[in-house]
Structure 1
Amino acid sequence: MTVEPRSPRPGWYPNNYGQTQWWDGAKWGPIAPATPQVYGPIVKTTSVGTAYLLWFLLGGVAAHRLYLRRHGSAVAIVLIYWTGVIVTSAGVGWCLMLAAVAAIWLIVDLFLIPGMARDTAS
Structure 2
Amino acid sequence: MSDTSHSQRIMEYDARAKSTLLAYVLWFFLGFLGAHRMYSDRVVSGLLQLLLHGIGWLTTPILIGWVFVALWAVWWLIDALLIPGWIRDYNLKVVRWLSG
Asked whether the two chains share a fold, i.e. TM above 0.5, the reply is: yes
| Offset at residue 95 of structure 1 (A) | 2.2
RMSD: 1.6
- Equivalent-residue separation in structure 1 for 2:25 and 2:64 (angstroms): 31
SS at match of 2:44: helix
Superposition misfits of 4+ residues, deviation over 4 angstroms: none
Q: 1 or 2, which has the higher helix percentage?
A: 2
- CA deviations on 1:46-87 (whole Å, 9 max, x unpaired) are 110010011111111011111111001001100011101111
How many residues are treated as equivalent by the alignment? 81
| Bigger RCO of structures 1 and 2 (CA < 8 A, at least 6 apart) | 2
**Does 2:11 align with 1:56?**
no
Q: Percent identity?
A: 33
Structure 1 stretches of 5 or more lacking a match?
A: 1-35
With normalisation by structure 1, the TM-score equals 0.62
Please state which structure has a larger fraction of its residues in strand: 1
1:36-51 residue pairs with structure 2 within 5 A?
Answer: 42-43=12-13, 44-51=16-23
Who is 1:111 aligned against? 81
Alignment gaps of 5+ in structure 2: 93-100
User: Which one has a bigger Cα radius of gyration?
Assistant: 1
